[in-house]
Amino acid sequence: MTEGSLPVAVDISSGRIHEGTRLVSLMESVSIDTGHRPRKRPKVVYADTKHATPLNRIYLDKLHVRSQIPDPPQETKKRPGRPRVLDRETYHGVRYNVERFFGWLENFRKVSVRYERLPNVFLGLVRLACVMILRRVLK
């Protein structure tokens, strides 16, 4: 998750686990510094179509977090209730920032090649890379 292409929370999982199932645990680890008490949830979540599951949408609705998640292209069934509105222009701008962050992350060879096999060591390296990206951007 990013806020202005800067990392807010990162998480890793096995390659066999679907990305859409990890949204709840990722949202639990969000902490946005505001100068006072940190916010525990963002105002809007921008995600790709892998996260467009009904459970994720219900979870975000329960937290009163707006979701900007496009429906999968094969979606033909009508869903009950008010249709979700996707601001495509803003969504594409945010997705560009996310992909730019992933490009910055790939500059760290140890992270992009994944030499470390232990998950906790690899997550530590990803977090260290995020800190280095933040330091470089905020300079």
In a domain, 121, yes or no: yes
pLDDT band at 135; cut points 50, 70, 90: confident
Contact status, residue 69 vs residue 45, Cβ threshold 8 Å: yes
Of the candidates 90, 93, 30, 107, the one whose C-alpha atom is nearest the C-alpha of residue 65 is 30
Assigned domain for 12 exists: no
Q: How far apart are CA 84 and CA 61, in angstroms?
A: 12
110 occurs within a structural domain: yes
Confidence at 19, pLDDT banded by 50, 70, 90: confident
Angle among Cα 120, 124, 125 to the nearest 5 degrees reads 120
Q: What is the pLDDT of residue 78?
A: 67
Does residue 56 fall inside a structural domain? yes
Q: What is the rounded CA–CA span in Å between residue 51 and residue 60?
A: 11
Domain span holding position 67: 19-138
- Total domains, the chain: 1
132/127 Cα distance (integer angstroms): 9
The reply to whether 31 falls in a domain is: yes
Q: Is residue 1 part of a domain?
A: no
Q: What confidence category does residue 6 fall into, taking pLDDT thresholds of 50, 70 and 90?
A: low
* pLDDT tens track for 111-133: 888 888 888 899 999 999 988 98
78 vs 128, which has greater pLDDT?
Answer: 128
Please classify residue 16 by burial: count the beta carbons closer than 10 Å to its beta carbon, then call 0-12 exposed, 13-18 middle and 19+ buried: exposed
Q: What local confidence, expressed as pLDDT, does residue 9 receive?
A: 82
Could you tell me the pLDDT band of residue 102, with boundaries at 50, 70 and 90?
A: confident
Q: How far is CA 97 from CA 5, 62, 91, in A?
A: 5, 27, 10
Q: Has residue 131 been placed in a domain? A: yes
Residues 21-71 have pLDDT tens digits of 888 888 888 888 778 888 888 888 888 888 888 899 899 999 999 999 888
3-state secondary structure of 56: helix
Residue 79 lies in a domain: yes
